[in-house]
Amino acid sequence: MKKVFLCEYIHPEAYKLLKAHTEIIREWDRLGEADGLINRNLSISRVWMERAENLKVIGVHGTGVDGVDMAAAADLGIQVFSVPHRNSQSVAEMNVALMLALGRKLLMADRMIRQGSVDVSALRGMEFSGKVLGLIGIGDISRRTAKICRDGFGMRVIGWSRHLGADGVAEPGIEIRKSMDEVFEEADVIMPGLDLTEETKGLIGKKQFEKMKPGALLINTSRGAVLEEKALYEALRTGKIGGAACDVFTEEPVTAENPLLHLENFIAAPHLGANTEEALKNVGMAVVRELLERLDIQTNEGYRE
């Protein structure tokens, strides 16, 4: 029976399927026995892969593969795959939840009530009807977010994508802009939807924040490192932008030492975008099924997505 290294949580149904067809290894000193590995939040380096001398496949429980040293995997002949789009709806809903919490100052209101001193004048919020949502990157999550904001709130949606080119190719329900700067200048709410690559690392920084409207909001549930956090801190501290909410950070797990957490106009969440029952089941089942397939393990499940 082939062996799979699993040291992080996966949905019980996905665990049951994996256990039925493989031996699950959890002990680090047995990493070298593993034929496959399922990764969620760990950084898989060349050192890890060289220790796992039998490793053939790494399945990423989620969308991006930025947590895996892809060059090392290629050198060592290890297949790496992810399961995109299975958690898109949950992350899109998280985008909207953070937008509402930030725009209506709900966390600040909660703190004031608990402290017994409510200043209603400090809690004046933003109505989103008629506002402009700006998307940086137009993948599945961004399109789902756009639909919720457009159909639910009557927002106008604009966006820019590195993959659509400078000709402004039409995207249903989204007005395409030819540059990222145009989106920052026009939008009332900015939402990056970017994978983390060498090209996108630090893509959004001081230059972009300076172009934002006074009072505009920024929501990030994609990858922390696409933002320059120091520049974001300064834009928030000086009131250049109205507020920001991040579910992802350059260094995770985020700690109280991060200066952003000391700002009243900032909301933090600990990477919860895909942390719903539905998304965890969809992603867990997808990564286990594909891992088994790549390891040439027959499951006789019948129905497959």
What residues act catalytically?
Answer: 223, 252, 271
Rounded distance between C-alpha atoms, residue 280 and residue 285, angstroms: 8
Q: Which residues pair with 244 in a beta bridge?
A: 218, 266
| 89 alpha-carbon distance from chain centroid | 12
Residue 280: which H helix or E strand, with range? helix 277-294
- Checking 30-36 for CB contacts under 8 A at 24+ apart, the result is 30/3, 30/5, 31/5, 33/3, 34/3, 34/4, 34/5, 35/2, 35/3, 35/4, 35/295, 36/2, 36/3, 36/4, 36/5, 36/291, 36/294, 36/295
- Residue 90: partners with Cβ closer than 8 Å, 6 or more residues away: 273, 274, 275, 276, 278, 279
Q: Which residues pair with 22 in a beta bridge?
A: none
Dig out the tokens for 108 from the structure.
């600040």
Cβ–Cβ < 8 Å for 98, 269: yes
Rounded distance between C-alpha atoms, residue 37 and residue 59, angstroms: 6
Q: How many CB atoms within 10 Å of residue 201?
A: 15
Rounded distance between C-alpha atoms, residue 286 and residue 269, angstroms: 26
Local structure of 192: helix, strand or coil: strand
Laid out side by side, the sheet with 132-136 consists of 175-176, 156-160, 132-136, 189-192, 217-220, 243-246, 266-268
Structure-token match 């789902």, residue found: 144
